[in-house]
Amino acid sequence: MSGKALLALVALASSWPASAAEGTGVTLGPRVDAIMASWSRPDSPGCAVGVTTDDGLILTKGYGQADLDHGVPNGPHTVFDIGSVSKQFTAAVIGMLAREGKLSLDDDVRRFVPELPRYEAPITLRHLLHHTSGLRDYTDLLALVGWQTEDWTTEAQALAMLSRQKELNFLPGTRHLYSNSGYFLLGIVAARAGGKPFAELARERVFAPLGMASTHVHADHRRIVKDRAVGYAMQDGRWTIAVSDWEQAGDGSLMTTVEDLARWLRNFDEPKVGGRALLDELLRKGRLASGEEIPYAEGLRLGTYRGLATVGHNGSWAGYRASVLRFPSERTAVIVLCNAESANARTIALAVADEALAGRLGPAPPSPSATPPAAEPVKPPPARAADLTGVPGRYRSDELDAEFAVVATETGLALRIRDRDSPLVPVGTDAWELQPADPLPLTVTALRDGATVITGLTLTCDCDGFRTLRLGRVR
């Protein structure tokens, strides 16, 4: 064994109880290896997996490579972007500020972010925490105007986009619809109420007290990160780099390790940061105005798996996938962090839980039915050729601060977003679908003044980000 490897083992042993290297960890290891066999390759990215119990981190192993360029393997010290798993840390900082009287969860978000427009009803911080605000998702809006995940986008750009939105998806409090905009805004609220950048607040109040030395809010895309896993995606049969330079925080942009997340999860059973009152608040399910309870608490989803209550969250951004799943009654948790776009971290986490909690889980869910798939629904007849007359042209959205163009091609029409043309396939009179659904699954409908003159377009998205947007005709 090399000196470096020995030091790593000594460091791990000093971080967790001695029983972490024996008992269930020993017997669990080979079974997790079998689950991860397809990712345990020297020419592939992969994942880091951890299992925690009362004895600490009883298992932590890496599979595949953190960096294919340099042949660096994944491991317990590898730093991953965890996507939306970040949201629970934002909720924790907000909860701490609320307990100090610097804000109230029932405050109108415009108390701290007056740049937002006034809507029919106020949006409260509680609405943001539970995804009941009705706000359109800024990530979808930026994608719609052509921003790729590898592009550099800033907090100011995202806030400006939200500030231009004239409509909500629904009246605040009446529905639950996941939106990254809420937690992005909560990061801004925390900074303005706490008097420091959100990244500093999270470090001072959560990461440092828990010893999460490898965790940070990645709000500067230029920052060098020791032991960082590179994100990858498969394209044309080969792995390609898939990382993001977006600098919005609160809803994501948190980088951490399996070991550090284990420290955070232990805090739920043995509170060191925030106290029991804060942790109980994080686990409080949201309610709609109707009184209906929803399964989303504050940055955490509550559910059940094979008869046991679960608390967790998944993350997905660029080439990273993450899943953190806790079983409170068993004081057991599974952590899966991956640097491959095609990795299903949630499925891996459940498979590991099946092994870690063998004998304590209820019956396994039934296998998917072997019945043949239902026939594809019949689409409306294609648009008549005459409908294409006058459709090509330029269209603008003030809410997006962007122009689009519909252009004629040899085969029909295409929607031009920046310099990229996406084919429009007719699905009815004056209606077309964007195919492939890139950047978003859109239906484009022409708006006519009478029978002939086209005055604009309506974009309808089969996504959580927004329902409809109207584009006015420029010429």
237: Cβ–Cβ under 8 A, 6 or more apart, which residues?
A: none
SS3 225: coil
* The two three-digit tokens of residue 261, written as one number: 């997340």
Asked, as a colleague might, if the bond just before 436 is cis with ω within 30 of 0, I would say yes
State how far the Cα of 324 lies from the Cα of 345, in Å rounded to an integer. Answer: 9
Contact indicator for 194, 82 with CB cutoff of 8 Å: no
* The two three-digit tokens of residue 299, written as one number: 């940055």
* The two three-digit tokens of residue 335, written as one number: 């952590």
* The two three-digit tokens of residue 180, written as one number: 């990254």
Furthest-apart CA atoms within the chain: distance in Å: 80
419: Cβ–Cβ under 8 A, 6 or more apart, which residues?
A: none
pLDDT tens for the chain, residues 1 to 475: 444 443 343 334 333 333 333 346 678 999 999 999 999 999 999 999 999 999 999 999 999 999 999 999 999 999 999 999 999 999 999 999 999 999 999 999 999 999 999 999 999 999 999 999 999 999 999 999 988 888 889 999 999 999 999 999 999 999 999 999 999 999 999 999 999 999 999 999 999 999 999 999 999 999 999 999 999 999 999 999 999 999 999 999 999 999 999 999 999 999 999 999 999 999 999 999 999 999 999 999 999 999 999 999 999 999 999 999 999 999 999 999 999 999 999 999 999 999 999 999 999 877 655 555 555 555 544 444 445 668 999 999 999 999 999 999 888 899 998 888 999 999 988 999 998 888 899 999 999 887 678 999 999 998 888 989 999 999 6
Predicted local confidence at residue 11, as pLDDT: 39
* The two three-digit tokens of residue 440, written as one number: 């978003």
Which DSSP letter does residue 36 get? T
Q: Look up tokens 């020993």; give the residue.
A: 26
State how far the Cα of 262 lies from the Cα of 52, in Å rounded to an integer. Answer: 7
Predicted local confidence at residue 373, as pLDDT: 57
Q: Select from 3.40.710.10, 3.40.50.720, 3.40.50.300, 2.60.40.1180 the CATH code of 81-356.
A: 3.40.710.10
Q: Where in the chain is the domain with CATH 2.40.128.50?
A: 385-473
Q: Nearest Cα to 132, choosing from 183, 202, 80, 62?
A: 183
Predicted local confidence at residue 10, as pLDDT: 34
* The two three-digit tokens of residue 99, written as one number: 């307990």
251: Cβ–Cβ under 8 A, 6 or more apart, which residues?
A: 84, 86, 87, 90, 139, 180, 181, 182, 183, 184, 187
Predicted local confidence at residue 6, as pLDDT: 38
Contact indicator for 316, 83 with CB cutoff of 8 Å: yes
185: Cβ–Cβ under 8 A, 6 or more apart, which residues?
A: 109, 113, 116, 128, 135, 162, 250
Architecture of the domain spanning 385-473? Beta Barrel (2.40)
Per DSSP bridges, beta strands 254-256 and 216-217 are: antiparallel
Q: Where in the chain is the domain with CATH 3.40.710.10?
A: 81-356
SS3 349: helix
Predicted local confidence at residue 390, as pLDDT: 82
**Alpha carbon distances (Å) from 1 to 6, 7, 29, 285:** 7, 10, 20, 49
- What is the pTM (predicted TM-score) of this model? 0.89
